[in-house]
Structure 1
Amino acid sequence: MREHRLRTGTRLTELGFGAAQLGNLYRETTEEEARAAVAAAWDAGVRYFDTAPHYGLGLSERRLGAALASRPRDDYTLSTKVGRLLEPTPERAHLQDDEGFAVPATYRRQWDFSRDGILRSIEGSLDRLGTDRIDIVYLHDPDEHWDQASTSGIETLVELRDQGVIAAVGVGMNQSEMPTRFVRETDIDVVMCAGRFTLVDRGAQDDLLPAALARGVAVVAAGVYNSGLLANPRPRDGAKFDYQTAPPDLVGKVHRIADAAEPYGVTVPELAARFALRHPAVASVVLGMRTADHVTANAARLTREIPEGLWDELDRLGLSPRIEDHPHTEGTTA
């Protein structure tokens, strides 16, 4: 598995393990499935693992920490997020979480990008993960909290980085405009950008990616299947794009991409997984994985070599214009 380094020296494998599904995203994941998924990722060469308190009200962090407990801590990179404090609500334990995770509502999420909130959040994450350090800490979805996140939030994380408590500072969002401001106006090392640099959505190419290249900030691409539209060889009935039913014109475009790829023996999910890594600002693609089978499929997609002739064909057809910058040529083997 190829890897790239942040400007801080932090290593990211080109495939990152997204652990939201370990927190029972949309439906239950068993303890056995969670352990097997992490083990399969390790066997596939994955050494970057990402989670957050938000995912299953801490369940994802607990499961990921337990699954990695026997691995040498220096051999992998671990990231989590701050901005949503978990406040105990035992009186709601009989209810189900209302933010998409199949877990009891034993906590509520409280937005907090203050210094105290971030320190409390990291302390809780360290405890749930069962580790003594976190490599990357992202500000998580500060869309409505720019003023606090860009001041006390960043300042606290930079201070922790300078003290050696964490290795790198980042921001993770589902848009490109505000992360671009973070890149240009604050001292961050990495951006996790979900859904805005994909086979069918290139919003980040106009603002975030050029800014990141100019400032030496790495980009981690997430949401590369755009909520499922690009997750199958052909869009399924009712396929989602950005959590909504995909519009017919976009579904038609994906079918035309599949038509063009078919003679090359390449599928849409393989194209979607590889696409972001063609840009030199992108260091890693994080994919959500619930089971060992998911890991095997995603690792195969991410390591699939796509013929240059196919990218040329997609460009000629106007389905996926060429990326102006050259793809990665550097990297090491993990």
Structure 2
Amino acid sequence: MLPQIGFGAAPLGELFTKVTERDAEATLEGAWNAGIRYFDTAPWYGRGQSEHRVGRLLYRQDRNEVILSTKVGRILRAPARPAEFDTGFWAGGLHFEHYFDYSYDGVMRAYEDSLQRLGMNRVDLLIIHDLDVWHQGSRAMVEAKTAQLANGGFRALADLKAAGAIKAIGAGINELGMIPRFVDLFDIDFFLLALKYTIGEQDTLDAEIPLCVERNIGLVIGAVFNSGLYATGPVTGAKYNYSEPTSDQLDKARRIQAVCRRHQVPLAAAALQFPLLHPQVTSVIPGAFRPEQTEENLAHVRRDIPADLWAELKHEGLIRPDAPTAQQLDIREETWPT
């Protein structure tokens, strides 16, 4: 069982923003000291940088207290022309290129490489990463890599789980339509659903989440702020799903924020708590790259939110009428399982 709030370490790979080593260390230590014990990272985050930073904190802790997840699907390697390396949308990070490999050997290689970067000899949860059109570039490439996973890579994950090296197998989901595909082909323990069940959008309630309920597959929610817009509100520079928000997306965020203000609730608090109100959601993993952000996230997730706020959002058509909002949250440090 996972705690209701964890730490998403993508920002420590310098997603859009440079992060000093001092800030990264202080952020992670602050999260640990505040009681966070579930940490999620990936080779892709800063091209290895996030795993290095997370590992430098966690290897010093009692391993029995740590819940650690990372991801497979990408192999990092030195670039052919280091002087010409482009970090892409990572503001910094390490200068390694990657290639996708979901084969048996590729999954095992990614797993072993992650252990080395983390400085840990095991992880708890291993997640299939970015097997979607957004990252693969075409439906044909998704089909090819899915076949690669089916013909070998998933057997590697199953072997690791059977040997006790990992406790659960997950899949990261960024696009609608992928959850049914995974459920049809693979024995998945949980999905890490990013961007698609948030206060900003709930289309996964049509088919994806009901299928998870039917199959008793757990959900962890990543990118709960939709890349920032629902943390800061519609301010200059805010991102929505890694891109510049449209005028409609900004207007919706502005209207949701106005409802929150009428109930004296910060927008970020409503955004953090909304996914947890669904009984199938086990955990949210907001990111941070400064110590005060972790403190704010913890304060937001513990804040009392009146039922009238959710009722008004539904009345105004800002969240779906079938989105669960009746569950009462009780998030206290001493109840977080480890």
Indicate whether the TM-score tops 0.5: yes
The alignment partner of 2:230 has SS state of: coil
Correspondences of 1:98-247 after superposition (within 5 Å): 98-105=88-95, 107-143=96-132, 144=142, 145-232=145-232, 234-237=233-236, 239-247=238-246
Please state how far the C-alpha of 1:152 moved relative to its aligned partner.
Answer: 2.2
Cα separation, 2, equivalents of 1:168 and 1:206: 26
Residue in 2 aligned with 1:296? 295
Q: Confirm or deny: 8 A CA contact 1:18 1:288 kept in the other structure.
A: yes
- Whichever residue aligns with residue 280 of structure 2, its letter is A
Q: Confirm or deny: 8 A CA contact 2:102 2:149 kept in the other structure.
A: yes
1:84 to 51, 59, 74: 74
| Distance change (3 Å), C-alpha of 1:109 and 1:282 | same
Please state how far the C-alpha of 1:149 moved relative to its aligned partner.
Answer: 2.7
Cα separation, 2, equivalents of 1:322 and 1:302: 22
Residue in 1 aligned with 2:275? 276
Q: Confirm or deny: 8 A CA contact 2:49 2:94 kept in the other structure.
A: no
Q: Which has the higher strand share?
A: 1
Please state how far the C-alpha of 1:285 moved relative to its aligned partner.
Answer: 0.8
2:39 to 49, 72, 76: 49
Query: What 5-or-longer segments of structure 2 have no aligned partner?
Result: 133-141
| Distance change (3 Å), C-alpha of 1:100 and 1:164 | same
Q: Confirm or deny: 8 A CA contact 1:270 1:301 kept in the other structure.
A: yes
Cα separation, 2, equivalents of 1:104 and 1:22: 11
Cα separation, 2, equivalents of 1:71 and 1:241: 35
- Whichever residue aligns with residue 189 of structure 2, its letter is D
Cα separation, 2, equivalents of 1:280 and 1:148: 33
Q: Confirm or deny: 8 A CA contact 2:30 2:294 kept in the other structure.
A: yes
Q: Confirm or deny: 8 A CA contact 1:55 1:101 kept in the other structure.
A: no
Offset from partner CA, 1:279-323 (integer Å, 9 cap, x none):
111111111111111111111122222111111121122222344
Residue in 2 aligned with 1:13? 3
The alignment partner of 2:180 has SS state of: helix
Cα separation, 2, equivalents of 1:292 and 1:102: 19
Cα separation, 1, equivalents of 2:79 and 2:252: 46
| Distance change (3 Å), C-alpha of 1:104 and 1:277 | closer
Which stretches of structure 1, 4 residues or longer, exceed 6 Å deviation after superposition?
328-332
Residue in 2 aligned with 1:31? 21
Cα separation, 2, equivalents of 1:91 and 1:100: 18
Please state how far the C-alpha of 1:151 moved relative to its aligned partner.
Answer: 4.1
2:51 to 51, 61, 64: 61
Query: What 5-or-longer segments of structure 1 have no aligned partner?
Result: 6-11
Cα separation, 2, equivalents of 1:89 and 1:318: 49
Please state how far the C-alpha of 1:46 moved relative to its aligned partner.
Answer: 1.2
Cα separation, 1, equivalents of 2:239 and 2:16: 14
Cα separation, 2, equivalents of 1:13 and 1:19: 16
What is the total number of aligned residue pairs between the two structures? 322
Percent of pairs with identical residues: 37
The alignment partner of 2:124 has SS state of: strand
Cα separation, 2, equivalents of 1:25 and 1:243: 9
